Structure 1
Amino acid sequence: MQPRELGRYLAWQQQDQPALRQRIAALARKNIGQPYELFLLGEFPYETYDAQPLFDLSKSDCVVFVEHTYAMALSASWEEFFWMLQRIRYRDGVIGTATRNHYTEADWNVANRWLVQDVTATLGAPTQPYHQRIDRQAFLLKQFKIRRDIPVQNFDDVYVAKQDVAAVEAQLQDGDFVNVISSRGGESWASHVGLIVTSADGSRRLLHSAEPQVREETLQGFIARMAERDARQAGQNKAQLAGFKFLRLNEAPEVPPMAPQPRPGRS
């Protein structure tokens, strides 16, 4: 679908699916089968640190899929979609590699509280604590050769262990945001993301972009598939599925304004 076609389609979707949750589910399902490609987007042509484009309608990775779906569901034109995508993807909507929400828990979830709220600890299941030491300064220098003076952040969070998810599935709703938590060597982090959709029989399903393409599967099916993968990789020092974080889509998201796009500095 080309940008102009997408704009017309989004305007129609606003009328065809007036409820936000159902609109998110419909848009997400329309992209089932979309090819997966990791590290898909960057900031080109605004910046060249990451020369990938600012959008791609033909492919996705897990984060791109979620961001595009939310932005489409909140928009009624191409122009609004593109604006919304940047508002979701960047801190205060300021386009830049350094202001992109790189860290799922500490950046994306926090910056987009206007859109989703973390309900992991309120679902009634036991939660598992984990800690992250986030060094954005080192990350930006290593990955993009960007020098920024950013203090290290110590970030504490919780997740629901994979074996406890079945007890809370019924509380999940269309459009909720899922963080898949992996662990290795005593460290845990969000390694994957997706969206909750409800099937005709009422079961909760995970709709997400992963190799080789966007797919929809039950949460328990995903857990079983990851268990098989982890069994095959036992002893290889690879990350294993630990559990999930769940973020509730706000009923009526109030989109904050963009911060001004600063004039680029000179070296």
Structure 2
Amino acid sequence: MTKASSAVRLSPGSAAVLDAALGVARETSGANPAERAERLSRQFLGTPYGADTLVGSETVPEQLAAELERVDCFTLVDYVEALKRSTSRDQFVNALIRVRYKDNAVGFATRKHFFTDWAATGPAVATDITATLSRNTVEVAKNLNRKDSGGVYLPGLPVVPRTVTYLPSAAVDDGVVTQLRTGDYLGAYAEDGGLDVTHVGIYVAGPDGPLLRNASSLSANQKVVDSPLFDYLRTVPGIVVLRPVQ
């Protein structure tokens, strides 16, 4: 039988990052979910930002890629969530497939391209808890992948009708934050009807206040950083919150 790890694109540098992270995964295997999420995501602080590390499109066959030496906001959460489910390379690869793809099927059409796919498609990675956090949430009917300006974001993929619930940034107060748990995934609500969010990160209850641990493409960062949550909220319309199922 072919090992799962042989199915993944993994450079020597990424393999070294993965092995170090798996060491932390083994060390924290008995820790509570919040501590485990914080310790594993901490391994990526300072990792350079890198876009377009996944391989696959309407015309290019999908390849299972794990580029851990540079990450964007979505691949960062992919890798952290997969690491939480792993203590070995083979377990990581199998977990990455479960996290990144619908029905565990590696393919461009089955990739979970949208943040809310983690809650809306199987196998479910997380539960959308946004509506439980406040009475001020807003529901918006969207057609994911269809740009408001015309055309689609991802050629070759269908338009997906979905109701997205978000909490306006102005309504995120201390009462909301006290309901969040380290390891929750926060998405920055997208005003365009074809997207659910424009950016994602990991909530961390820091010693000096709430943080969004995220792969930032801002010119001042260009790496994984801890952004003070309330500062970040002033730059986005609102948030969508997903709580991991494990």
CA deviation after TM superposition for structure 1 residue 178, in Å: 0.9
CA deviation after TM superposition for structure 1 residue 50, in Å: 5.7
CA, structure 1 residues 4+219, in 2 after alignment: closer, same or farther (shift >3 Å)? closer
Find the partner of 1:247 among 217, 242, 246.
242
Alpha-carbon distance in structure 1 between the residues aligned to 2:200 and 2:29: 24
DSSP-derived class of the 1:221 partner: helix
CA deviation after TM superposition for structure 1 residue 210, in Å: 1.5
Comparing both structures, which one devotes a greater share of its residues to helix? 1
Say if 2:187 is the partner of 1:179: yes
In the alignment, what sits opposite 2:79? Answer: 68
Q: How do 1:24-173 and structure 2 match up within 5 A? A: 24-43=37-56, 49=60, 54-105=65-116, 107-111=117-121, 114-134=124-144, 139=152, 143=155, 146=156, 152-166=159-173, 167-173=175-181
List per-residue Cα deviations over 1:204-235 (Å, max 9, x = no partner): 211011211111122102123x2xxxxxxxxx
8 Å CA contact 1:130, 1:188 repeated in 2: no
8 Å CA contact 2:103, 2:123 repeated in 1: no
CA deviation after TM superposition for structure 1 residue 16, in Å: 3.8
CA deviation after TM superposition for structure 1 residue 49, in Å: 1.1
DSSP-derived class of the 1:171 partner: coil
CA, structure 1 residues 113+247, in 2 after alignment: closer, same or farther (shift >3 Å)? farther
CA, structure 1 residues 175+135, in 2 after alignment: closer, same or farther (shift >3 Å)? closer
CA, structure 1 residues 113+96, in 2 after alignment: closer, same or farther (shift >3 Å)? closer
List per-residue Cα deviations over 1:61-80 (Å, max 9, x = no partner): 11100000111121000111
Alpha-carbon distance in structure 2 between the residues aligned to 1:223 and 1:99: 31
Alpha-carbon distance in structure 2 between the residues aligned to 1:188 and 1:21: 28
Alpha-carbon distance in structure 1 between the residues aligned to 2:72 and 2:141: 25
List per-residue Cα deviations over 1:78-119 (Å, max 9, x = no partner): 1111111111101011001111111222x2331267432111
Structure 1 counterpart of 2:79, which letter?
A: H
Alpha-carbon distance in structure 2 between the residues aligned to 1:5 and 1:65: 13
Q: How do 1:3-22 and structure 2 match up within 5 A? A: 3=15, 6-7=18-19, 9-16=21-28, 18-19=30-31, 20-22=33-35
What do you get for the CA RMSD once the two structures are aligned?
A: 2.8
Structure 2 counterpart of 1:215, which letter?
A: V
Aligned residues: 224
Structure 1: stretches of 5+ with no match in the other structure: 227-240, 254-267
CA deviation after TM superposition for structure 1 residue 183, in Å: 1.7
Say if 2:207 is the partner of 1:200: yes
8 Å CA contact 1:172, 1:204 repeated in 2: no
Percent of aligned pairs with the same amino acid = 27
CA, structure 1 residues 135+16, in 2 after alignment: closer, same or farther (shift >3 Å)? closer
Q: How do 1:250-265 and structure 2 match up within 5 A? A: 250=245, 253=246
Structure 2 counterpart of 1:127, which letter?
A: T
CA deviation after TM superposition for structure 1 residue 134, in Å: 3.3
CA deviation after TM superposition for structure 1 residue 39, in Å: 2.0
Rg larger in structure: 1
Structure 1 counterpart of 2:204, which letter?
A: V
Alpha-carbon distance in structure 2 between the residues aligned to 1:249 and 1:17: 16
TM-score, length-scaled by structure 2: 0.79
TM-score, length-scaled by structure 1: 0.74
Alpha-carbon distance in structure 2 between the residues aligned to 1:112 and 1:193: 20
